[in-house]
Amino acid sequence: MYDLEERQLFTDFISREGLSPKAIINTHAHIDHIFGVQHLIETYSIPFALHANEAPVLAGAKGAAMLFGFSMNQVPVPTQVLKAGEDLMLGDDRLELRLAPGHSPGSIVFYYHEGGWAIGGDVLFAGGIGRSDLPGGNGDTLLQSIRTQLYTLPDATIIFPGHGPQTSIGMEKRTNPYVQG
């Protein structure tokens, strides 16, 4: 949600579907995941949650945006700190928070056991893994996070990554060229 048109498309969808946003909960704070967050905070008067280890990523957001040819006038400030091992309640549904650094120091994976799915951010993709060459990233740490935080989930678990198509833990363990289980 970088520009006005993208923000309007999103808020029109929320309105059209009769939705009422309650919070913004990010897997990490790279610029492509925080553009538009400030707009949503202001539009809906809702909190913004992020893992504390993402503070240095947020601190460098304006510079990172400039490096990629974007501008960021205001960096959103989290009003809630997420902690790995704690559960996040969404109504009656419980999401498990798993710290999975490597792509970013405070990357969080949200796992919904009852539904058999996880939101993986930019940690694991269909046939790929997240970048580890950005500030705060570490390739060895990323691979370790995938092995301990994702590949320990049931093989049938569906992964919804931050970019690209969904996949499953079992598929990635068998076919991912970067880290097999």
1-82 and 84-181 share one fold: yes
Which superfamily does CATH assign the domain made up of 1-82 to? Ribonuclease Z/Hydroxyacylglutathione hydrolase-like (3.60.15.10)
Instruction: Report how far residue 142's alpha carbon sits from residue 100's, in angstroms, rounded to the nearest whole number.
Output: 7
Structure tokens at 148: 């301990």
Strand 48-51 and strand 24-25: the pairing is parallel
Separation CA 63–CA 28 (nearest Å): 17
Q: For the chain, give every domain's residue range.
A: 1-82, 84-181
- Paired with 125 in beta bridges are 128
pLDDT value at position 23? 96
| CA–CA distance, 170 with 121 (Å, rounded to integer) | 18
Which among 155, 158, 152 has a CA at the least distance from the CA of 174?
155
| pLDDT for the residue numbered 177 | 97
Supply the DSSP string of 97-151, one letter for each residue. EEE-TTSSTT-EEEEETTTTEEEEETSEETTEE----STT--HHHHHHHIIIIIT
Contact 110, 97 (CB under 8 A): yes
What's CA 8's distance to the chain center, in Å?
22
Name the token pair of 153: 């989930």
Q: What's residue 2's pLDDT? A: 84
Question: What one-letter code names the amino acid at 38?
Answer: Q
pLDDT tens for the chain, 181 residues: list them. Answer: 888 999 999 999 999 999 999 999 999 999 999 999 999 999 999 999 999 999 999 999 999 989 889 989 899 999 999 998 899 998 999 999 999 999 999 999 999 999 999 999 999 999 999 999 988 899 999 999 999 999 999 999 999 999 999 999 999 999 999 998 8
CB 87 within 8 A of CB 70: no
- The CATH H-level (homologous superfamily) assignment of domain 84-181 is Ribonuclease Z/Hydroxyacylglutathione hydrolase-like (3.60.15.10)
pLDDT, residue 135, reads: 85
